[in-house]
Structure 1
Amino acid sequence: MTVTDTPADAGQRPRRDLRQLVGYTLVGGSGVALDLTAFALLHNVLGWHEQLANGVGTTLGITNNFVLNALFTFGRRDRLALRLVRFYAVGLAGIALTFGLLWLFAGRLGADPNLVKAASLPLVLAVQFLLNRKWSFA
């Protein structure tokens, strides 16, 4: 409980936290669908290198997720420019994490880049939710 919370406010926090996590996950699902579709199209159909396809797909997902999270999940429409910069910084951290996983598992160990990309998503989602909640939309 923070200094300004009343006992009633503190009792509502777990419900709000769960609602935000569920909303973030649903919004994230739409971003993941956009990201994976773009990745598959660019890498598998157009023959782009997996790192370039990952960067473009992830950027599309980040943009989608920022708009939807600002409107629905966190309901924060103030300081949008600052929030967007922070959200993209968190998104870049996710790209870096995925790049590293692709480099290691696909580039060095020969795993299928599509499987590596898909398998990286839960870890990236968890890290980004925490960072966005505590920093981008605080």
Structure 2
Amino acid sequence: MQASELTISSRIADLDLDMVYAFLSQETPWAKGMPRATFERAVAGSLCFGGFVDGKQIAFARLITDEATFAYLCDVFVLPAYRGQGYASALMKHIFASPSLASLRRVVLVTTDAHHVYAPHGFTSLANPERYMELHRPDVYRAAG
């Protein structure tokens, strides 16, 4: 069976934010339990992309970016029923062909098990991981609830 064509929008008004929030806050390990207000602030402060098949949103990606030099790619998902059909790759190609993102000096992301999704788009392991630091608060959503 051939996959239907993916259409992509970065207009917030086009996105099914209820579906995106439900999936992120209930189905993903990184955003489980995220309060709705936190999600809404994240969307408002980010460049978001939705992937649609036959008018239904089936994919999402969010970039925290200055649209000049740097971006952090996060909250990327394709709904389980649509995985393995090339939709994540199509979404990545579209995102990084966007004029405001094509010339970014650095784009970073964190993934547990989707390296194979990002490697074809030029992502590699950190060249100098010792330079990176983080302040990680894994229980912050529990405290905010």
Answer whether TM exceeds 0.5 for this pair: no
- Which is higher, the Rg of structure 1 or of structure 2? 1
Larger strand proportion of the pair: 2
TM-score (norm 1): 0.29
TM-score (norm 2): 0.28
Higher relative contact order (CA 8 A, sep 6+): 1
